[in-house]
Amino acid sequence: MAETATIPRPRREGRIRKLLERYPFLPALVIVAALLALNGFFSPASLSYRALTGLLSTYMALILLSIAQTYVVYAGDIDLSAGAILSLVNVAIIVLMERWGGGAGAVLLALAIGLLLGLACGLVNGLVVAALRLQAIVATFATSIFFTGLALYILPVAGTPAPAIFWRTYGGRLFGVPFVFYVLAALIVLITVMSRTRLVTQLLAVGDDQQAAYQSGLPVIPVRIKGYVLCGLFSALAAFCITGDTASGDPLVGGKMTLYSVAAVVLGGSALSGGWGTVVGSLLGALTIGLINSVVFFMGTPSEWQNFVQGLAILVVLMAGVLAGRRARP
Amino acid sequence: MKKFIAFALGTVASIAISASAYAETFKIGLSNGWVGSEWRTQMIDEAKAAAAKWKEKGVDVEVSVQSANVDVPGQIAHIRNFIAEGVNAIIVNPNSPTAFDPIFAQAKEAGILVIATDAEVSSPDAIYVGIDQTAWGAAGAKWLAETLGGKGKVVAINGVAGHPANEMRVAGYRGVFKEHPDIQVVNEVNANWDQAQGQQAMQNVLATYPDINGVVVQDGMAAGAWKSIMDAGKKDQIAATGEIRKDFIDLWIKEKLNSGATVNPPGVMASALNVAVLMLQGKELKEPAKAGQYGNALYLPIPFIDSKNVEEAAKQLEGKPGYYSYTSSLSIEEAEALFK
């Protein structure tokens, strides 16, 4: 994974520093490995092939949502509507699949429309934030309410089963390998290709120093809009995964996931101020959140303390990541 | 060293004896996906207490609890963790009626009994043990209709629009009022199961319809609504449904309110646990769980508190903190009576 989605910086002394510079997601990787080991220590069954497949298929939606969030964070923006876009796409494709009979063709067509819907939501966000110059955090909070309203209009109460062909594929196997591993492989190829595109470099440049980027002739506004569009598209992909894992529509399903996606981005070593970060880090950050939730349970935390310990663990991991990451940055 | 070995052997032996003291051992996972109210805490505490009671019957019921504010994927992860842990049964208060179908199918495949409580689920691989929310809504309306002598102007204050339990309760009271043509429902408002919003909604209602006779308000908002009624000095002219929390019941007795409260007992999870243990023992229900819109429900009786028995309810709650809810659950014997 030659994933160095950051602007080239002068080399520094020290092996660790060099390594961290080349692979800024290393601390996140170490943390994921440590959490896996802890999970295995407290409950060996949690490392079984079956359990790991389950972990991946449950958290794939959060992984994709965190990657979506990363692209706007690159440019120093934020998207508090990512979870609402996920809910909206979830209910839209569920309702369309049902209307069109639930065959393979209907499923594919609904997915295509879902992608377009994600793209449109991203475009709306990009326009209000970059073109109208509204503060990203408030503007996307407002659009999140708007998108949730649309989702509630499309499907007022959680329900409507997904066609069996859809969720059986997502939860099933292809040539003996769980489908979700193909999703992961495709995702890794996709983000590796993405990290080499000019757009990602431009997003990072805008996030690093917007003024400088503008002065050097970068089209800052279109670049930021494209960042939001990318975020909308990946949120739609996240919606496909949640639909596959829950096999139903729920207009409120993504609400709580937005802040988790922001947390995953930071846990993965990206800077919320923009200009620095990796999507692989966010992928690992999302897994970190999932693994923390399980380890808190497997180590036998009493139920009254589970929320507390979970929050504390996220804080500790965050601090560890910041301390390690600081070495790599100027 | 010898002493140590003897001690170690003794310990091992005593562990072996204590392990064999129970004829059966079951491991049951409890999952709760929202910790925003004391009701949920009480629900889990009562389920734990119910599990401990089985020891007297020679059954070791070990409970493993996951309770945290989680999103739907987070609660799916709860279920996955329980499957990985190898529990015999999972009892869940679900965050979504439909989203757990695939994961419940996996749990069933792994030979795990899945029971939902408090909110119904659509999964054919699970059963629901809890109250019928439609009947819950109907019971309050029936009390109000009788109290008003079958005629008068009534207002409804509901919970979260679109929430399955709310929709069922609304259907419940509408059904009852339809049978009483002289009862006129002048308005229905949503106050999102929030005391402050309930109080606000009631104030607005009183300002708009000064001549109303009755209010159907769901628990979680009734104390707020009653506060507005009392502030307006109308507690003797208006009959309204109430709450099952101790602080409200105390107020009810002190102020001699004209109220009636349908009980949604926090003991539902304890009832579900007792049913689960009996099912794990291989017993069969006399009447299979086939009720409800999803055809997988076993409905529990719904207690009702009115001015006749409110003193008794207060007795049960004596010495408890103000947030403690009036409760009831199936005892082991009562649960056994449901089985062949």
Q: What pLDDT digit, counting tens, does each position of B44-99 carry?
A: 999 999 999 999 999 999 999 998 888 788 899 999 999 988 999 999 999 888 88
**Mean pLDDT, rounded, of chain B:** 90
CA distance B139 to B123: 27
Copy the structure tokens of residue A47: 């490392």
pLDDT of residue A88: 97
The ipTM estimated for the assembled molecules is 0.78
**B165, B159 Cβ separation under 8 angstroms:** yes
Give the nearest partner residue to B96 out of A50, A250, A302, using CB atoms: A250
C-alpha distance from B108 to closest chain A C-alpha (Å) = 15
| Domains assigned to chain B | 18-131+266-302+328-336 (3.40.50.2300), 133-262 (3.40.50.2300)
pLDDT of residue A1: 43
Interface of A with B in 280-299 (CB under 8 A): 290, 293-294, 296-298
Task: Please judge whether A293 and B70 are an interchain contact, meaning their C-beta atoms are less than 8 angstroms apart.
Answer: yes
Q: Which residues of A touch B164 (CB under 8 A)?
A: 157-158
**A234, A200 Cβ separation under 8 angstroms:** no
**A255, B71 Cβ separation under 8 angstroms:** yes
What value does the mean pLDDT take over residues B254-268?
94
CA B5 from chain centre, in angstroms, equals: 51
- Chain B's closest residue to A170, CA to CA, is B102
Task: Please judge whether B101 and A248 are an interchain contact, meaning their C-beta atoms are less than 8 angstroms apart.
Answer: yes
pTM of the model: 0.83
Task: Give B285's DSSP letter.
Answer: B
Model confidence at B275, pLDDT cuts 50, 70, 90, reads: very high
Helix%, strand%, coil% for chain A, nearest 5? 75, 5, 25
**A272, A78 Cβ separation under 8 angstroms:** yes
CB within 8 Å of A233: residues ≥ 6 apart: A68, A115, A118, A119, A122
pLDDT of residue B34: 84
CB within 8 Å of A92: residues ≥ 6 apart: A110, A113, A114, A117, A151, A154
pLDDT of residue B110: 92
pLDDT of residue B17: 47
Per-residue b/e over B168-188, b at no fewer than 16 CB within 10 Å?
Answer: bbbebbbebbeebeebebeee
Mutate to test the interface with B, among A306, A308, A310, A314 (most CBs of B within 10 A): A306
Helix axes A136-154, A82-99, angle to 10 degrees: 20
- What is the CATH topology of the domain spanning A24-36+50-328? ABC transporter involved in vitamin B12 uptake, BtuC (1.10.3470)
Task: Please judge whether A161 and B70 are an interchain contact, meaning their C-beta atoms are less than 8 angstroms apart.
Answer: no
Please provide the size of chain A in residues: 330
Q: What are phi and psi of B243, to 5 degrees?
A: -115, 170
Q: What are phi and psi of B192, to 5 degrees?
A: 55, 35
Task: Please judge whether B122 and A55 are an interchain contact, meaning their C-beta atoms are less than 8 angstroms apart.
Answer: no
CA distance B215 to B192: 16
Q: Which residues of A touch B44 (CB under 8 A)?
A: 303
pLDDT of residue A2: 45
For B101-117, write each residue's pLDDT tens digit.
899 999 999 999 999 99
What value does the mean pLDDT take over residues B218-238?
92
- Chain A's closest residue to B72, CA to CA, is A253
CB within 8 Å of B275: residues ≥ 6 apart: B115, B129, B298, B330, B335, B338
Residue with tokens 């010495």: B319
pLDDT of residue A158: 78
Q: Decide if A21 touches B, using CB distance below 8 A.
A: no
Count CA within 13 A, CB hemisphere, residue A216: 9
Helix axes A49-74, A220-246, angle to 10 degrees: 160
Copy the structure tokens of residue B174: 């509408």
CA distance A3 to A228: 21
CB within 8 Å of A228: residues ≥ 6 apart: A72, A77, A79, A122, A123, A125, A126, A129, A130
CB within 8 Å of B161: residues ≥ 6 apart: A156, B190
Copy the structure tokens of residue B136: 């819950």
Task: Please judge whether B65 and A255 are an interchain contact, meaning their C-beta atoms are less than 8 angstroms apart.
Answer: no
Asked whether residue B217 carries a pLDDT value surpassing 90, the answer given is: yes
Show pLDDT as tens, one digit a residue, over chain A (330 residues): 444 455 555 544 577 778 777 787 888 899 999 999 999 999 888 888 888 888 898 899 999 999 999 999 999 999 999 999 999 999 999 999 999 988 899 999 999 999 999 999 999 999 999 999 999 999 999 999 999 999 999 998 777 888 888 888 888 888 889 999 999 999 999 999 999 999 999 999 999 988 899 999 899 999 999 999 999 999 999 999 999 998 889 888 888 899 999 999 999 988 888 888 899 999 999 999 999 988 988 888 888 888 899 899 989 988 887 777 666 555
Q: Which residues of A touch B77 (CB under 8 A)?
A: 55, 58-59, 290, 293-294
Interface of A with B in 132-191 (CB under 8 A): 152, 156-161, 167, 171
Q: Which residues of B touch A259 (CB under 8 A)?
A: none
For B132-153, write each residue's pLDDT tens digit.
999 999 999 999 999 999 999 9
Q: Determine the 3-state secondary structure of B239 from DSSP.
A: strand
Task: Please judge whether A246 and B41 are an interchain contact, meaning their C-beta atoms are less than 8 angstroms apart.
Answer: no
Per-residue b/e over A93-128, b at no fewer than 16 CB within 10 Å?
Answer: bbebbbeeebeeebbeebbeebbebbbebbebbbbb
Asked whether residue B8 carries a pLDDT value surpassing 70, the answer given is: no
Please name which of A318, A252, A297 lies closest in space to residue A38, comparing C-alpha atoms. A297
